[in-house]
């Protein structure tokens, strides 16, 4: 029950952050990504409690619950009385997704070499390099939850064990939920988020963020 309440508070914070960001920027379409003045996607942090094998919160040396923070894309929420746009029927946009497929190749930057390749072609990929390091984002439409689980197992075999133990990855997904697998290994900080919720509250079926540095830590400098 405590975990459920904690997660509710986490997601409430996400939508509150999105709403606050919207006031400072031009009006956007509900579900559309919020971007900053440089055109970069705005992301926020979602905390997850680290649980032990009995499902109880793990405690640090000060007896405080251990929390893992995961990145989440901020999207514009619908304004009061605003109508949610219907699902797209365009063949270039997968049903239930907001992102148009660019059918690009899996990122080839050398820092990604230790991450197993999911597929040769993805719907969109971006790359950024800054003072902290390198960051690649990968967007994939039309991928099943079973394929998501399979890819997680492939990543585990390469040493990428899950760090956000408070985020349970079940065998069967529940409609309207998103599932986050966060791992830090081999010098990479990876977030893999699978979305089951409906358009326009998701951007793709699977979003993967791969960085050569601690994104959360860099934001707190």
Domain ranges within the chain, ordered by starting residue: 2-219
Q: Is the pLDDT of residue 85 over 70?
A: no
Q: How many helices (H) and strands (E) does the chain have?
A: 3, 9
% of the chain surpassing 90 pLDDT? 38
> Regarding predicted confidence, which is higher, 96 or 45?
45
Q: Is the pLDDT of residue 59 over 50?
A: yes
pLDDT digits (tens, 9 = 90+) for 14-47: 433 333 333 343 466 666 667 777 666 677 776 6
- How big is the chain, counted in residues? 221
Number of Cβ within a 10 Å radius of residue 123: 25
Q: Is the pLDDT of residue 117 over 80?
A: yes
Q: What is the rounded average pLDDT for all residues in the chain? A: 75
Q: Under DSSP, is residue 30 helix (H, G, I), strand (E, B) or coil?
A: coil
Q: Is the pLDDT of residue 51 over 80?
A: no
Q: Given the DSSP bridges, would you call strands 134-140 and 124-129 parallel, antiparallel or unpaired?
A: antiparallel
Q: Is the pLDDT of residue 6 over 60?
A: no
């Amino acid at each position: 029950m405590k975990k459920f309440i904690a997660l509710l508070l986490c997601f409430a914070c996400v939508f509150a952050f999105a709403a606050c960001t919207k006031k400072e920027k031009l009006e956007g379409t509900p579900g559309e990504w919020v971007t900053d003045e440089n055109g970069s996607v705005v992301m926020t942090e979602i905390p997850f409690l680290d649980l032990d094998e009995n499902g109880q919160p793990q405690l640090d040396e000060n007896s405080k619950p251990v929390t893992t923070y995961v990145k989440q894309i901020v999207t514009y929420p619908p304004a009061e009385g605003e109508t949610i746009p219907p699902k797209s029927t365009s063949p270039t946009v997968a049903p239930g997704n907001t992102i148009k497929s660019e059918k690009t190749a899996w990122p080839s930057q050398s820092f990604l070499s230790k991450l197993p390749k999911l597929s040769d072609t993805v719907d969109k990929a971006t790359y950024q390099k800054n003072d902290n390091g390198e960051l690649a984002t990968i967007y994939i439409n039309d991928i099943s939850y079973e394929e998501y689980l399979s890819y997680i197992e492939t990543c585990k075999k390469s040493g990428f064990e899950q760090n956000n133990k408070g985020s349970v990855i079940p065998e069967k997904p529940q409609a309207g939920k998103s599932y986050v697998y966060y791992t830090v290994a081999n010098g990479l900080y990876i977030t893999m988020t699978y979305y089951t919720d409906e358009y326009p509250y998701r951007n793709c079926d699977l979003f993967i963020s791969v960085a050569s540095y601690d994104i959360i830590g860099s934001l707190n400098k």
